[in-house]
Amino acid sequence: MKFGKNASAVSQSVKAAGLSLASVLAVAAMPAIAQDAAASAVETAAAGSYTPMKPTEGVGMPVPEGLGLQTQYSKLGEYGAWIHNDVLLPIITVITLLVLVLLIVVMVRYNRRANPVPSKTSHNTLIEVIWTLVPVLILIGIAVPSIDLIAKQYKPAPKGSLTIKVTGNQWFWTYGYPDNGDFEVVSNMLNVPGQPTINNGVREVGSEPWDGPSHLEVDNRMVVPVGEPIRLQITASDVIHSFAVPSLWFKLDAVPGRINEKVMMIDKPGVYYGQCSELCGAKHGYMPIAIEALPRDKYDAWVLTHAGGTIDNPKASGTETDYLPGEEPAGAAPAADASAAPAAAAAE
C-alpha cells in the first residue's frame, strides 16, 4: 500500500513538473511565433494582390449598331477623332453635296431638250482659277493637322518611361516587362461556350465575373499604369501581325526581326479591347488584345504577383525624351558635352 501511495505521489509530481515546463516553453516560444506571423504578413503584403477589373459596357469596346469611331481615351485619340469628325467629315460632306448639285444642274439645264444649241465656250479663266485654288487650299487645310497628328504619334517616349515589349505569335500575344523584373505574360483568347475550342487548356468566357465580350476577352491582360506614357516595343516571332486598339488610337505593325516603337498613354482606368489587324493565318480572328489600365499603386501590386516582379521607378518627364543612338536632335550632344566640361575641369 505504501509503495502504491509513493508511486502515485511521484506520478503527480512528474505531471506537475511537465506542465510547468510546457508553460515555460510556450511562453518562450510566443515571441518566435509572433515574429513568424509578422514575417508571414510582410511576405504576403510584399507578394502583392490583384483582382481583374470588370470592364464597363460600351467603354473600350465595340457597341451594337455602332457608327463612327469608338470613344477615345487618350489625348492623341481625342485629337485624331476631332480631325475626323470636325475637319474631314464636314469637308467631305460639302464636296459631295456640291458635286451632287452640279450634276443635277447640268442634267436639268443642259440636256438636249432644254438646251438644243450647246454653248461653244472653250474656257473660263475665273472658273479655272477657282477650281484650281480651292482644292489646293482644302488640301493644305487637311494636311496641317494631319501632319501634326503624325508627328505627335511618333514622338519619342519621355525619359524614364515604362517599357513593355509586345510580341505577336500565331495566334496569341506575349507581354514582357523589362523594367519590372523582366517577367512575361502570355495572353490567349478565352474559348466561347458552345463553339469549337480555340485554345486548349484555356477557360471559357463568362466563367469569371470580370470577363468582357466574347472573342475579345483573354486569360491574361496586358496591365499598364494609367496616366503615364508607356513605351511599347512591338515585334513578332513568326509572321507579320498588327497591334491595334481602336479606343486608344493605337495601331502598329509587329514585324519579325524588327522592333517598332510607339508611345501609349491612357487617361482613364478601365479595360480596352483590340485585335490583330494584319491577316496572319488560320486563327487570325482569334487573336484579341485586352489592356487593363490601373492606378499606379494597383499596378505595382499586380507586378508583385509575378515571380521576380519588381517595382520600377516612374520618373517620366514630359520634356526630356529618350532617343535611339544617332537620332538625337542637333544640339543635344554638344549640350551634354558642355555640361560635362566643368565637371572635368573641377576634377583636374
The mean per-residue pLDDT over the stretch 99-122 comes to 88
183 pLDDT exceeds 70? yes
CATH number of the structural domain spanning residue 275: 2.60.40.420
Whether residue 149 is found in the same domain as residue 166:
no
Among 303, 325, 341, which residue terminates a domain?
303
Tell me, yes or no, whether 344 lies in a domain: no
Residues 6 or more apart whose CB falls under 8 angstroms from that of 138 comprise 91, 95
Residues 179 and 247 in one domain: yes
Within a domain: residue 338?
no
Q: What pLDDT, on a 0 to 100 scale, did the predictor assign at position 123?
A: 85
Bridge-based pairing state of the strands 241-245 and 288-294: unpaired
Indicate whether 109 and 233 sit together in one domain.
no
Convert the pLDDT of each residue in 202-214 to its tens digit: 999 999 999 999 9
- Residue 312 resides in a domain: no
Q: Is residue 182 part of a domain?
A: yes
Boundary-marking domain end, from 282, 303, 324: 303
**Do 132 and 188 share a domain, yes or no?**
no
Q: Are residues 148 and 172 in the same domain?
A: no
Q: What does the pLDDT look like over 42-66, one tens digit per residue?
A: 343 445 688 999 999 999 999 998 8
Domain that holds residue 99: 75-114+126-153
Least confident span in 169-183, 242-256, 326-340: 326-340
Whether 251 and 179 share a structural domain = yes
**Residues 184, 98 within the same domain:** no
Cβ contacts of residue 132 below 8 Å, gap of 6+?
none
Residues 288-344 pLDDT 10s: 999 999 999 999 999 999 999 999 876 654 455 555 444 455 554 444 443 344 344
Q: Tell me what pLDDT residue 23 has.
A: 44
Domain stops at, among 303, 321, 343: 303
In a domain, 45, yes or no: no
Which whole number is the average pLDDT over 127-144? 94
Residue 107 lies in a domain: yes
Do 134 and 188 reside in the same domain of the chain?
no
171 with 298, same domain: the answer is: yes
Residue 32 has pLDDT above 70, yes or no: no
Does residue 346 lie within any of the structural domains?
no
Length reported for the chain = 348
Reported as a pLDDT band with limits 50, 70 and 90, residue 117 is confident
Looking at the structure, tell me whether residues 138 and 186 fall in a common domain: no
Mean pLDDT of the chain: 82
Q: Does 136 reside within a domain?
A: yes
Instruction: Provide the pLDDT for residue 214.
Output: 94
Q: What is the pLDDT of residue 245?
A: 97
Same domain? 266 vs 207: yes
Task: Please name the residue that has the C-alpha cell 494582390.
Answer: 49
Is the pLDDT confidence value at 277 over 70?
yes
Domains of the chain: total: 2
Helix, strand or coil for residue 236? strand
* pLDDT attached to residue 84: 95
Predicted local distance difference test score (pLDDT) of residue 119: 81
Does residue 82 have a cis bond before it (omega within 30 degrees)? no
- Closest C-alpha to 250, from 89, 57, 70, 88: 70
Query: Are 148 and 179 part of one and the same domain?
Result: no
Average pLDDT score over residue span 87-96? 95
- pLDDT average, residue stretch 219-248: 96
pLDDT bin (cut points 50, 70, 90) of residue 7 is very low
